[in-house]
Structure 1
Amino acid sequence: MSLTPQHPIGSGFTAASTTSHVIRGISLVGKVAIVTGGYSGLGRETVRTFLSAGARVIVPARDVARAKQSLESLPAAEVEPMDLLDAASIDAFAKRFVLSGLPLDMLVNSAGIMALPGRTLDAHGHELQFATNHLGHFRLTARLWPALKRTGSARVVSVSSMGHRFSPVVFDDLDFEHRPYNPWAGYGQSKTANILFASELDARGQADGVRAFSLHPGGIPGTGLERHVPVRDLIDAGVIDENGAPLIDPARDIKSIPMGAATQVWCATSPQLDGMGGVFCVDSDIAPLLDANPTDFSIAENQSGKRSNGVAPFAADRDAAARLWEVSERLTGVRFPD
């Protein structure tokens, strides 16, 4: 099994570093970014940071009115209609952008859903977490490929999670047709797919100057991503207290939104990553590779302060990355242009 090389570079940042720390001294004037999920949580903080550094930022959103209201304090952010579960909507958004002639310097695939309590399928029969978190972003990236190639130095950032350790991509049963549905297995599979996608995208794109990264932002209470997680589970994991207040502690990987968004901003902008790509990052550095695949990963373990920051070997498997690419092309009917 060929594995993606995962070697920390000693970036100088920590779990407590924020977006303000990682963007310091970096100018994005003249750069163009697209941020999915850019009207809430980590995505919104990423948009704010990019704008503060001078970038032009476009936020695709299913609910345009809601997105504009959320971004009211960031009037320079441009909101465009797009639904990650609607192929025609993705195609229309990307076509408008590509025809504009603009280069795309940064694509941050930050939108996502987590731990749906029951097995839910999209219109094409695909499990909803896999469809939203991976297939929608696969299609979007493919359709935006001409604009990414225009820059000669673009970056694509996929927001994954340490929750990838819940599950590899189960190629023989992606949609839980033949195995019991588990919310965390579905989430983990989609987050592993984010990592594998970044690995294969980087391998295919670097000749055109397109580099790709994936990352774990941390556990961030209050973003809305945890809406399907029972409150008692969050209390038992030490994410919130008995009154529902966040227990921010970066040493335990429980972060504020500016801390949580730091790694995706770092992946998208840092000169420390020039000439690199295809790696999984955490705490604004490249994560190490675990010695073995996890066998019983849990929310509590992730927030215990004892977990390793490493990426599971099944998510660094280059053969699995290539297989996922082929499966994704088949399921979406979309091939990346040459």
Structure 2
Amino acid sequence: MSSQFTPKTTGAEAAAVLAPHIAGKTVLMTGASITGLGFAFLKAISAHSPALLILAGRSEAKLDETAAALAPTPTRKVLFDLTSLASARKAAAEVMAWQDVPAIDVLVFSAAVPICPYTKTEDGLEMQFGADYVAHWLFGNLVMGKVLKGKGAVGTEGAGRVLSISSEGQRLSPIRWGDISFQDGKTYHRWRAYGQCKTALILYAVLLAEKLGGAGLRAFSLHPGSVPGTALSSLINMEDVTLALDKELGNKEGDSNPFDPSIRRTIEQGAMPYVVAAFDPSVNDLNGKYLIDGRLAKVENDDVKPYALDKEEAEKLWKYTEELVGQKFDF
């Protein structure tokens, strides 16, 4: 990461430095509500002449609101409901049919459902795992042909980039082999479910890099920082997760102050890791890695759990997800 970026750098400041890498790029992102981090990222890069910003979401009204706020930057919308695999397939087919959009340079998975009581997606999957991970996995794989035609940072060779927005919540659970669906809700714990889906998102980036790195694809997962003020964070009781489950699991965060202002980020600062992962050529050699504040997260520093970066776990999860969606992707 460029030494001039710190955890307090805003997305707009990072975008100004990386402007040559943003100009002319096509970016597709889920989670574009104007109250979220994804919008802060789009707003930051919109000042530097991207070719097109593709907004994916389930509410046409909200997509229109975001598009209006990003004007005059060119935008296009595609309806995509994370709770439906049929919707993921339909949205991907629509994007792939756009002949005037031959490539996607950056694909960002930023949408997430609230950390909710036990419920299921349209396809019978536990909601957080099914919506945040499986739907993104399916959509991403279905549009991968256009991402492989994309271009990375100026001065580097290769295809486009995929950003899988995870979080430090990965520390709360590995993939729960044998109980991924929480016994149909009987053993459900919303924070363990949250941790499982965030781990899954990291593992997706790990295996994309493994499978398609040779074709030039760059895939990263990232934690944008602790950002109060977003629509999602307003639903989270931080004391609930950090003090109760972390103590039970023996995580260092169980002994920390979740409200410490030194670890808090504004929404604008939370957009910086997005900008770095999407456009900074200095991360090009970190393919498949998990980034925190735009820097490499390290197991030895307890930034990330070993299970979240394990290639065997990633391969196992990939095969399991293929079975869930009923489709193989032999990239």
Aligned counterpart in structure 2 of residue 90 of structure 1, from 61, 74, 88: 88
Secondary structure of 2:318's match? helix
Contact 1:35 1:58 (8 Å CA) reproduced = yes
In the alignment, the residues of structure 2 paired with residue 279 and residue 12 of structure 1 have an alpha-carbon distance, to the nearest angstrom, of 21
In the alignment, the residues of structure 1 paired with residue 32 and residue 112 of structure 2 have an alpha-carbon distance, to the nearest angstrom, of 11
1:186 correspondence with 2:196: no
Secondary structure of 1:158's match? strand
In the alignment, the residues of structure 2 paired with residue 337 and residue 204 of structure 1 have an alpha-carbon distance, to the nearest angstrom, of 9
Secondary structure of 1:200's match? helix
Secondary structure of 2:111's match? coil
Query: Equivalent residue for 2:227?
Result: 220
The alpha-carbon deviation at position 123 of structure 1 amounts to 2.0
TM-score under structure 1 length normalisation: 0.83
Contact 1:35 1:110 (8 Å CA) reproduced = yes
Deviations 1:260-282 (A, max 9, x none): 12112210110102243100000
The one of the two structures with greater contact order (alpha-carbon pairs below 8 A, sep at least 6) is: 1
In the alignment, the residues of structure 1 paired with residue 319 and residue 168 of structure 2 have an alpha-carbon distance, to the nearest angstrom, of 24
Query: Equivalent residue for 1:57?
Result: 53
* Larger CA deviation: 228-237 vs 71-80: 228-237
Query: Equivalent residue for 1:161?
Result: 167
Q: What amino acid sits opposite 2:295 in the alignment?
A: D
Q: What amino acid sits opposite 2:32 in the alignment?
A: G
Q: What amino acid sits opposite 1:146 in the alignment?
A: G
In the alignment, the residues of structure 1 paired with residue 113 and residue 86 of structure 2 have an alpha-carbon distance, to the nearest angstrom, of 21
1:333 correspondence with 2:326: yes
* Larger CA deviation: 136-145 vs 270-279: 270-279
Secondary structure of 1:172's match? coil
What does 1:285-324 correspond to in 2, within 5 Å? 285-290=295-300, 310-324=303-317
What does 1:51-200 correspond to in 2, within 5 Å? 51-55=46-50, 56-75=52-71, 76=73, 77-101=75-99, 102-116=102-116, 118-151=117-150, 152-177=158-183, 180-200=187-207
Query: Equivalent residue for 1:278?
Result: 288
Contact 1:114 1:187 (8 Å CA) reproduced = no
1:34 correspondence with 2:41: no
Q: What amino acid sits opposite 1:161 in the alignment?
A: S
Secondary structure of 2:229's match? coil
Query: Equivalent residue for 1:44?
Result: 39
TM-score under structure 2 length normalisation: 0.85
Aligned in 2, Cα 1:132/1:258: closer, same or farther, shift over 3 Å?
A: same
Q: What amino acid sits opposite 1:158 in the alignment?
A: S
Q: Give the paired residue count.
A: 303
Contact 1:36 1:61 (8 Å CA) reproduced = yes
Contact 2:10 2:269 (8 Å CA) reproduced = yes
Aligned in 2, Cα 1:232/1:144: closer, same or farther, shift over 3 Å?
A: same
Contact 2:2 2:282 (8 Å CA) reproduced = no
Contact 2:32 2:66 (8 Å CA) reproduced = no
* Structure 2 alignment gaps of length 5 or more: 151-157, 244-255
Structure 1 runs (4+) greater than 3 angstroms displaced: 9-12, 230-240
Q: What amino acid sits opposite 1:35 in the alignment?
A: M
Identity in percent: 29
The alpha-carbon deviation at position 89 of structure 1 amounts to 2.0
The alpha-carbon deviation at position 287 of structure 1 amounts to 1.0
Secondary structure of 1:219's match? coil
